[in-house]
Chain A
């Protein structure tokens, strides 16, 4: 009796595994072809000197990687990524939270605000890039016109290496703040209404309710928002590629734009692969460290 039961159980398990394998196969094949193999291949290509098209591939070992470590353009790009990451978190999350709080306190009457604030998120990064290239144009741009009203002259925000990165970051914030607004609105609705009611009955003002009750309850959401913003900032590409192409000079260069230009503009695919590999390693490291830090605090 006992033996039979065990074998029946085993048969069932085998059946489960077989069905699981069948259902997981498409995803496994796809990920192997489009994610895992390319990652390996990028590291292999990074050991060659190769223009990507001709057959003339020359093995140079860790030559590209040595160049990469000493390449100041790459490290400037990495630093720019970090600047975008920090400023994105510091600007988008507080403004997003403020907008969400405003909408949450104001209720349905403020839907107009919600709808208009949301629209930037509907536009693709490429379209936003083009829109702002023209809106920030020195002649006949939006900012120049407004500065003209106040007696200022034309401003060239994107052409000046000192202001280009900050300008681009402002555009990024313009695009993504609504995302965090909607995100925090969802977080607000997750706070049970009883909590709000109880606080009001106890005589808390809205300000007190926000700082003493809602804010601490929203901290976990803020943490995941920060992780999200962080990973996004390190991968950033479309908008900057369209708006400045990394320039002027290297002032808005990002790891991704640098990789793209090395590989597909100057056709230096061996080195481009090394840049992509470096980018992959750095992003994985930063992600791991931040997640460890944020989760570690949670346990304490």
Chain B
């Protein structure tokens, strides 16, 4: 009994200690966001004269209206267009490639799979100059269309990796019964494999969607004029315009985070699972 009591006491002390640390980390995680949102409602000099943590004098949306009327929607639309096209194409061609790699038996299947997966650790920067040259040569430079190719290409390795292992899990029997009904290999893909791979495709859509939405290197290199830039660069452009106006920048940052927060509230667990898809195999 004594031993039990002792253990109980020890366990309570441990929990108190753990909670203290957890709350400390909570503050560390959340403080920057409080800083961001609080100050986004302030006026230009209010922040400097009254301190960072003071509540704003009034809930003043002037910063937000100025940002929203100052071209923010253009960046937002560019991001939406690039994301939609890249994601749809990526999912289709990654599914196409994964199908033979997962379901067919042929000698080159393993080397091809290994080759594609090995591309995962290739840094974007080794391709930056040649892709920049290519986009200039083809006239795509400084348009959102220049981004689609590189976005898809760099998302292919991880997507094929995940989809192939996903498609391998589909039971053979389903395929066999379809085969008996006279279903060819191409038809099999569209009417059997692709519908069954939907959960895998959803995970990939989230994982790659978040990455493409936040992508910076290519967007920064391949576009130049502000009307052709995507959301991550909006911050850059606004910073150039309002560099001394911290509250304005905070409003921009809050607005760029907002779509992700909305997605997080709607899809919580799916989003969490999707964003770690690259690490958790299959």
B126 on the A face (CB < 8 A): yes
Mask of B152-165 contacts with A, CB within 8 angstroms, 1/0: 11101000100000
| Complex partner residue of B235 from A16, A127, A205, CB under 8 angstroms | A127
Report yes or no: A273 in contact with B29, Cβ–Cβ below 8 A. Answer: no
Report yes or no: B100 in contact with A20, Cβ–Cβ below 8 A. Answer: yes
Contacts of A263 in B (CB 8 A): 128-129
A214 on the B face (CB < 8 A): no
Report yes or no: B105 in contact with A16, Cβ–Cβ below 8 A. Answer: yes
Q: Which residue of B lies closest to A40 (CB)?
A: B130
| Complex partner residue of B279 from A26, A228, A238, CB under 8 angstroms | A228
Report yes or no: B214 in contact with A139, Cβ–Cβ below 8 A. Answer: no
Q: Which residue of B lies closest to A205 (CB)?
A: B7
Report yes or no: A26 in contact with B104, Cβ–Cβ below 8 A. Answer: no
Contacts of A132 in B (CB 8 A): 32
Segment 94-135 of B: residues with Cβ below 8 Å from A: 94, 96-97, 99-101, 104-106, 108-109, 112, 116, 119-134
Mask of B50-86 contacts with A, CB within 8 angstroms, 1/0: 0111000000000000000000000000000000000
B contact residues, total (Cβ < 8 Å): 90
CA distance A258 to B154 in the complex (A): 21
| Complex partner residue of A33 from B125, B126, B149, CB under 8 angstroms | B149
Q: Which residue of A lies closest to B219 (CB)?
A: A126
Report yes or no: B14 in contact with A127, Cβ–Cβ below 8 A. Answer: no
A69 on the B face (CB < 8 A): no
A211 on the B face (CB < 8 A): no
A contact residues, total (Cβ < 8 Å): 89
Contacts of A272 in B (CB 8 A): 129
Report yes or no: A205 in contact with B121, Cβ–Cβ below 8 A. Answer: no
Stretch at the interface among A140-148, A151-159, A161-169: A140-148
B31 on the A face (CB < 8 A): yes
CA distance A266 to B116 in the complex (A): 34
Contacts of A115 in B (CB 8 A): 268
Report yes or no: B129 in contact with A23, Cβ–Cβ below 8 A. Answer: no
Stretch at the interface among A60-68, A83-91, A192-200, A279-287: A279-287
Shortest Cβ distance from residue A26 to the other chain B in the assembled complex, whole angstroms: 4
Mask of B210-225 contacts with A, CB within 8 angstroms, 1/0: 0001101100010000
* Interchain residue pairs with CB less than 8 A apart (8): A27-B94, A102-B18, A116-B30, A117-B29, A130-B253, A224-B279, A259-B125, A259-B128
